[in-house]
Chain A
Amino acid sequence: MAAMTREETEALIQEVLEIYPEKAKKDRAKHLAVNDQGLEKSSKCITSNRKSLPGVMTIRGCAYAGSRGVVWGPVKDMIHISHGPVGCGQYSRAGRRNYYIGTTGINTFVTMDFTSDFQEKDIVFGGDKKLAKLIGEIETLFPLNKGITVQSECPIGLIGDDIEAVSKKAAKEIGKDVVPIRCEGFRGVSQSLGHHIANDSIRDWVLGKRDGDDSFETTPYDVAVIGDYNIGGDAWSSRTLLEEMGLRVVAQWSGDGTLSEMELTPKVKLNLVHCYRSINYITRHMEEKYGIPWIEYNFFGPTKIAESLRTIAAQFDDKIKEGAERVIERYKADYEAVIAKYRPRLEGKKVMLFVGGLRPRHTIGAYEDLGMEVIGTGYEFGHNDDYDRTLKEMGNATLLYDDVTSYEFEEFVKKMKPDLIGSGIKEKYVFQKMGIPFRQMHSWDYSGPYHGYDGFAIFARDMDMTLNNPCWKQIQAPWKKPAANAEDAQRAAGGL
Chain B
Amino acid sequence: MPEVMFRKDHNDKLIFYVAKKDLEETIASLEFESPEKWGGEIVLSDGQRYYLEPLPAQPKLPITLRVKRV
Q: Which residues of A contact B (CB under 8 A)?
A: 41, 43, 49, 196, 281, 284, 287-288, 291, 295, 383-385, 388
Q: Which of A196, A288, A295, A385 contacts B24 (CB 8 A)?
A: A385
**Contacts A287-B7, A288-B63 given: A281-B22 contact, CB under 8 Å?**
no
In angstroms, Cα B35 to Cα A144, docked, is 53
Shortest Cβ-Cβ A-B pairs, 8 listed: A288-B62, A383-B22, A384-B22, A287-B62, A385-B24, A49-B22, A288-B64, A284-B5
Residues of chain B at interface, number, CB under 8 A: 13
* Contact residues in A for B7 (Cβ distance below 8 Å): 284, 287-288
Closest Cβ neighbor of A384 among chain B residues: B22
Q: Which residue of B lies closest to A311 (CB)?
A: B10
User: Chain B residues near A287 (CB, 8 Å)?
Assistant: 7, 62
CB<8 Å pairs between A and B, sample of 21: A41-B46, A43-B46, A49-B22, A284-B5, A284-B7, A284-B17, A284-B19, A284-B62, A287-B7, A287-B62, A288-B5, A288-B62, A288-B63, A288-B64, A291-B60, A384-B22, A384-B23, A384-B24, A385-B22, A385-B24, A388-B24
Give Cα distance in the complex from A388 to B17, angstroms.
Answer: 14
In the complex, which of the residues A196, A287, A288, A295 has the most CB atoms of chain B within 10 Å of its own CB atom? A288
Q: Which residue of A lies closest to B7 (CB)?
A: A287
Report A162 CB to chain B, min CB distance, Å: 25
Q: How far is the CA of A351 from the CA of B24 in the complex (A)?
A: 30
How far in angstroms is the closest Cβ of chain B from A51?
14
Across the interface, which residues of B come within 8 angstroms of A385, CB to CB? 22, 24
Q: How far is the CB of B14 from chain A (nearest CB, A)?
A: 14
Q: In whole angstroms, what is the CA distance A385 to B15 when docked?
A: 13
Known: A284-B62, A288-B62, A384-B23. 4 other contacts (CB 8 A): A43-B46, A284-B7, A284-B19, A388-B24
Q: Specify the chain A residue showing the minimal Cβ separation from B23.
A: A384
Identity of the chain A residue whose Cβ is nearest the Cβ of B63 in the assembled complex: A288
